[in-house]
Amino acid sequence: MLSDDGTRAVTTASVSPDGALLAYGIADGGSDWRTIRVRDVATGQDLPDVIEWTKWNSPVWQPGSRAFTTWRYDPPTGNALTDEQGAGRLQVHEIGEDAASDRVVFTRPDEPRLFARDWPHDDVWFVLHTDGGSSSGNDLAARRHDEPAEALRMLVQGREHEWHSIGVRGDVLYTVTDQDAPRYRLAAFDLVTGRQWTLVPEHPEDVLLDAHLTASGLVLEYSHDAAHRAQAATFDGVLGDALPLGDGVSITAMSTSDETNRVFATTSSFVDRGTRHVIEVDGASVLTHRTLPTPGPAAPAATATRIRVTGSDGVEVPAFVVRPADDDGATPRPTLIWGYGGFNIPMNPEFRPILATWVQAGGVLVVPNLRGGGEFGSDWHHAGTKARKQQVFDDLYAVAEHLIETGVTTRDRLALHGRSNGGLLAGAALTQRPELWAAVLPGVGVLDMLRFHRFTIGWAWISDYGDPDDAEAFAYLRAYSPLHNVQDGVEYPPTLITTGDHDDRVVPGHSLKFAAALQEAQASDAPILLAVDTRAGHGMGKPKDAAAAEFADQLAFAAHFTGLR
């Protein structure tokens, strides 16, 4: 047991290529900070190695399975849960050595707002990604492991586009990029000469999400209308068979190796808790497929459909609507919208037990694909960023009004829930359209848009939000910042704001100030409640019983004010 109260958790783990060692990270009280330990797989005992003050990157093993890289910071001199982070560094830790002697392989103290990671693992080539924000483009560089750090050769620079490396075969690096391809393409680099070429061009409709190497070819993951599909291909990019994963699903995990032709995948949907697939491929051909049973209870009986509404600018905005199986749509029902709309993160038909509970209780669940998300490529993402962020909120209002107009629900039966950037969505919707909601539940939300960049890792979100220190950005951020748009004398709907006292990603000050402002301004007797979980953070590493209790409170609050019995 990591702790008596269950608030220490393993948040990253990486097995060495030879299978002998496990490097794993432990977070305390929900913090993003983690301490890396190393465990001997055969004995189950931890080695003396301890690497502190690491964040973000999982350990990446180096050739020989006796060293790995970590992204580390100097120990904080002030409040480790609130102070803005300085420059980090990528370091190599040798097993059995003191972490204080770890070798630095990349750092940029002159550019402290920078992240770096080496990926993918390869025994010959070291591939370095550097970026300056949560959803920004990245640079790409490479060198051989036996070359000195200063021998890095730039493949891409300028951070104008995304370059997601997926594997190395010989001297060829495979990457997924949105350069000249808003729906992404599969590109390759010759690591010796730096030559780049396209293997699989941009699809006319679907978004290329990821790719994986097998011993004989590639497996490509695509998003089609916010659901997932996968397709086999040759190393030359010739597309072949579709993997039989089913329709209307999310690929929640996929694992391959360049030493075998076996593909392991897990899918789920709003009506399927999860299906595990084992597939044999040969280049672009699928040879065999079998599924494994998923333990646990079956998903509640429900139906999932798509609606499409017209946004404020005439663009079509889709949404998933999940109903109880016995709902014929004849009577408006209590309805919960679960939204996000940011950072190129898609909202797919993935099974979430806590949201399925709402449907099982008789409510309707709506998951919109708002701009800012990653469902339809980089253009869709950028259409909801910076000065265009208001469009995300307008997309939400279009979906909500459509639900009311078509009789799915009514204003007094409609609740809104979102976390993190989704908490910003909920906070903005609460202050801009308070009359539209029966209840609003902003969770761990970014609610002060003028100071978010001054705490911990908040500066990384400038890539999506803009920089409050810039006059032009300040103006549009001030126009929708939930904290700064609370008005005295307004009748705000019942609101439950939640945060954790160890949240060092979106610091709890956002929620504390927003709750105080709303309570001071509230002109009706509708409750404005604040729940602060102790020994909890942004959500990572939270004990399952604590997470279940938090969501139960939120759903009970929404159910009470929407009439769900």
Question: What is the C-alpha to C-alpha distance for residues 366 and 304, in angstroms, rounded to an integer?
Answer: 9
96 phi/psi in degrees, rounded to 5:
90, -10
- 232: helix, coil or strand? strand
Q: Which residues, 6 or more positions from 409, have their beta carbon under 8 angstroms from its beta carbon? A: 332, 333, 334, 335, 364, 403
How many other CB atoms are there within 10 angstroms of residue 187's CB atom? 22
Two structure tokens written together for 408: 């799915």
What amino acid occupies position 419?
R
Is residue 420 part of the annotated active site? The answer reads yes
Residue 550 vs residues 2, 122, 237, 338: alpha-carbon distances, Å: 22, 42, 47, 16
Closest CA to 24 of 558, 555, 541: 541
Please tell me the distance from the alpha carbon of residue 175 to that of residue 187, in angstroms, as a whole number: 5
Distances (CA, A) of 485 to 72, 136, 440, 461: 38, 28, 16, 21
In 3D, which of 396, 385, 405, 388 has the Cα closest to residue 433?
Answer: 396
Cα atoms found within 13 Å of the Cα of residue 251, Cβ hemisphere only: 24
Tell me the CA distances in angstroms from 499 to 257, 417, 442, 537, 547, one per residue in order: 40, 14, 9, 8, 12
| Structure token digits, residue 484 | 């700064």
Residue in 250, 268, 420, 463 annotated catalytic: 420
Residue numbers annotated as active site:
420, 538
